[in-house]
């Protein structure tokens, strides 16, 4: 009896990343109006809420309930984020289309968001997000971006690959108003210091996961 052996190649540990230009998708007038309203809400909240600076330098975070605020601009952004979550889920389960559909049929998406206001020279230390599946950021104002300043940095989670130069190690994203990004919550990421004379940056960070009482298999 002869056993046939076949050689195969495959890619392991793929990492999905979502990026959407909402200005191109919804139009510059809509995005400018929504961003203006979100900016006012966030700066008003910054003046009233206690300071929360965990993980950031030269920046301030809001409470975690921004996606529950009752306002048309928040409703609009919540819908955009839900679209990102759906696309990321479908991408992650691209070889299991039926399972992806059951995720949305039987699960409830739970999402939380918080504003981050970066003052000139502000940054965010390297970190990951716990207790969620996907995370991301929406940019309202992006002061302080330069050739080597103010970028979102996504780090290759394989330390050995970086050490042996099998990977560039960092994928950078240049923020701009109206840009929505998303990625797996376990992916290490950070924010470079914004330029010292580049103005204020305002963004909304978010986490998302699923809750279900039924088996999905």
Per-residue confidence (pLDDT) for residue 205, from 0 to 100: 97
User: Which stretch of DSSP H or E encloses residue 75?
Assistant: helix 72-92
Query: What's the predicted TM-score (pTM) here?
Result: 0.90
Per-residue confidence (pLDDT) for residue 103, from 0 to 100: 83
Residue 160 pLDDT level (bands cut at 50, 70, 90): confident
Per-residue confidence (pLDDT) for residue 213, from 0 to 100: 63
Higher pLDDT, 152 or 63: 152
* 122 Cβ neighbours under 8 A, 6+ residues apart: 56, 57, 58, 59, 144, 191, 193, 194, 201
Per-residue confidence (pLDDT) for residue 212, from 0 to 100: 76
Per-residue confidence (pLDDT) for residue 215, from 0 to 100: 61
Counts of helices then strands in the chain (DSSP H, E) = 5, 9
Q: How many residues does the chain have?
A: 217
| Main-chain dihedrals φ then ψ at residue 28, nearest 5 degrees | -65, -35
């Amino acid at each position: 009896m002869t056993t046939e052996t076949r050689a195969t190649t495959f890619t392991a540990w793929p990492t999905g990343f979502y990026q959407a230009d909402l200005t191109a998708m919804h139009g510059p007038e809509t995005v400018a109006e929504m961003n203006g309203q979100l900016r006012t809400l966030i700066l008003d909240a910054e003046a009233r809420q206690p300071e929360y600076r965990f993980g950031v330098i030269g920046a301030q975070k809001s409470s975690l309930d921004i996606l529950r605020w009752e306002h048309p601009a928040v409703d609009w952004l919540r819908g955009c984020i839900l679209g990102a979550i759906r696309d990321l889920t479908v991408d992650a389960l691209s070889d299991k289309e039926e399972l992806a559909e059951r995720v949305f049929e039987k699960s409830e998406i739970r999402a939380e968001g918080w504003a981050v206001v970066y003052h000139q020279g502000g940054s965010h230390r390297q970190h990951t997000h716990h207790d969620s599946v996907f995370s991301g950021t929406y940019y309202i104002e992006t002061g302080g971006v330069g050739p080597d300043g103010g970028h979102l940095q996504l780090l290759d989670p394989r330390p050995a690959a970086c050490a042996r130069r099998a990977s560039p190690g960092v994928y950078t994203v240049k923020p701009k108003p109206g840009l929505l990004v998303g990625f797996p919550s376990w992916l290490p990421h950070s924010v470079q210091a914004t330029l010292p004379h580049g103005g204020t940056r305002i963004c909304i960070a978010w986490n998302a996961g699923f809750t279900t009482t039924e088996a999905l298999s």
